[in-house]
Amino acid sequence: MKIHWLLCLLTALIGCKPQAPEPSPAAARPPNIVLFYVDDLGYGDLGCYGATGVATPHADRLAREGIRFTDAHSAAATCTPSRYALLTGTFAFRSQAAVLPGDAPLLIRPGTPTLPTLLQQAGYRTGVVGKWHLGLGSGNTDWNGEVRPGPLEIGFDYSFLLPATGDRVPTVYLEDHRVVGLTPEDSLRISYRTPFPGVPTGMDQPERLRQAADPQHSQAIVNGISRIGYQTGGASALWTDEDFPDIFTDKARAFIASAADQPFFLFFSFHDIHVPRLPHPRFQGVSEMGPRGDAIAQMDWMTGAILEELQRQGLAESTLVLFTSDNGPVLNDGYEDQAVARLGSHRPAGPFRGGKYSAFEAGTRVPLIAHWPGTITPGESQALISQTDFFASLATLAGVPLPEGAAPDSQDLSQALTRAGQPGSTLLLEEAMTLALRQGPYKYIPPSALPQAPAWLQQKGIEAGLSPLPQLYHLEEDPGETHNLAPQMPERVERMQQLLDSLVAPKNTKP
């Protein structure tokens, strides 16, 4: 009887173990992974999340055939920190990762465990195409020679990059270690400190500009748009913004075709819908919202073209597609492009308060769609999930264990990522101008030493979410964060502050 009882108990325990998603017959090898990482796309900027004024049929199809998440978050409310946390599984504040200038050295140092490095070890071919903004080189980069270290030194087999952002110099493409199209007789020089004599800037010659810009964005002029930073030379290598959708999409297609005979990871990092918004002529006027809406439509077309390449290669059912954004939305971010004037009834952040840069919910609450035909059952998920968790989750789906000490802040939420009914995290840290904490429906923002948003953020029309008093909101009842419950619930405030402190402490990084 004892033996029979023990056997039953053992069977029950085995049955309670979390089960990994069962692969479809077409997915005998580990799944290919395509991560669409849109820039500045808000929770409400897709049709499947309530967008008006612009059509997004390809993203909507992904949501219809996959899982649409309603409580997913970027790792931070700005771009560089989000990218850092996604690729390292480590909160950005631990390395003081902030928005980088265009000439910054590589932020993720070679030897750091990264998601692409881990996938390489599992036999994946890895590639990144699009915006980088994680620094390049070791400082004082010579753009006329080999630019290293870069993506190839931290786990990518191939890279084709916008080195920083569209509104920062250098305004050239970087393929692997070299600037594309640069000629020896016309060297490229970059400075973020001193203007080059005789070279026009947006500040001293605004009549050259197609879009008026604020002082921060009024330095080097390229393609009729002034940027952050100074630049001269390299005429044969300079990009034309309107070419981005075709060039980046073609590079992504070529990478997929080249890697079709083995598992691959493609990190497709859009420039859209970041400023400056200069969509290709075939997308101009397709939305009701001017350049920002047209850039959303352009982004959606690029998504569809890459999905079509997967279908052409016979890889759709063996590919996990994740579609998300690096932070919440922003309308006025340095250029006058009618983003505010032509908004109409569209709500970029959906029902949430704040936006890019903000500690309020719209700073990090972003679209997330998971698509894997034959493996993922379509549905909607309310699971609380952060992009910081992608590292451990994708490691599980790829069948590779995490190395000791890797991705200390990443949780394995592979079940939630691939099954709509599965629970997500119990705690989630939101990083903005301060650190905030989600616990179930509750959102806690601790008191801030800054009494209000800095002037530059106020000019963008975004609330920073800062207050000298603690803030506590119940998001199911109050998604707009309008009713501060902290005075009525001091015990919960104290508990959530203690939980936040435990997450911040290096000795206890896992939520």
Is residue 12 pLDDT above 70, yes or no? no
User: Is 200 strand, coil or helix?
Assistant: coil
Alpha-carbon distance of 39 to 270, in angstroms, equals 6
Tell me what pLDDT residue 78 has: 96
pLDDT tens, 102-120?
999 999 999 999 999 999 9
Residue 303 banded pLDDT, cuts 50, 70, 90: very high
Residue 9 banded pLDDT, cuts 50, 70, 90: very low
Query: Which residues have a Cβ under 8 Å from the Cβ of 341 and sit 6 or more positions away?
Result: 290
Partners of residue 130 on adjacent β-strands: 161, 269
**28 C-beta neighbours (distance < 10 Å), count:** 8
How would you label 347-377 residue by residue, b for 16+ Cβ within 10 Å and e otherwise?
bbbbebbbbbbbbbbbbbbbbbbbbbbebbe
Alpha-carbon distance of 50 to 367, in angstroms, equals 11
CA 23 to chain centre: 27
pLDDT tens, 394-412?
999 999 999 999 999 999 9
pLDDT tens, 253-298?
999 999 999 999 999 999 999 999 999 999 999 999 999 999 999 9
Q: Return the sign of the alpha-carbon dihedral for residues 288, 294, 300, 304.
A: positive
Report, as residue numbers or ranges, the catalytic residues: 79, 133
Is residue 155 pLDDT above 70, yes or no? yes
Is residue 24 pLDDT above 60, yes or no? no
Question: Is the Cβ–Cβ distance between 359 and 433 less than 8 Å?
Answer: yes
SS in 3 state form for 122-163? CCCEEEEEEECCCCCCCCCCCCCCCCCCCHHHHCCCEEEEEC
Question: Is the Cβ–Cβ distance between 438 and 384 less than 8 Å?
Answer: yes
Instruction: Report which of 221, 290, 277 is spatially closest to residue 245, judged by C-alpha positions.
Output: 277
Is residue 7 pLDDT above 70, yes or no? no
DSSP state letters, 366-392: --EEEE-TTTSPPEEE---EEGGGHHH
- The DSSP H or E segment spanning 472 is strand 471-474
Query: Which domains are seen in the chain, by residue range?
Result: 32-188+233-425 (3.40.720.10), 429-504 (3.30.1120.10)
Alpha-carbon distance of 155 to 121, in angstroms, equals 9
Kind of pairing between the strands at 32-38 and 319-325: parallel
Alpha-carbon distance of 60 to 46, in angstroms, equals 7
User: From the CA atom positions of the chain, what is the Rg in Å?
Assistant: 23
Tell me what pLDDT residue 450 has: 78
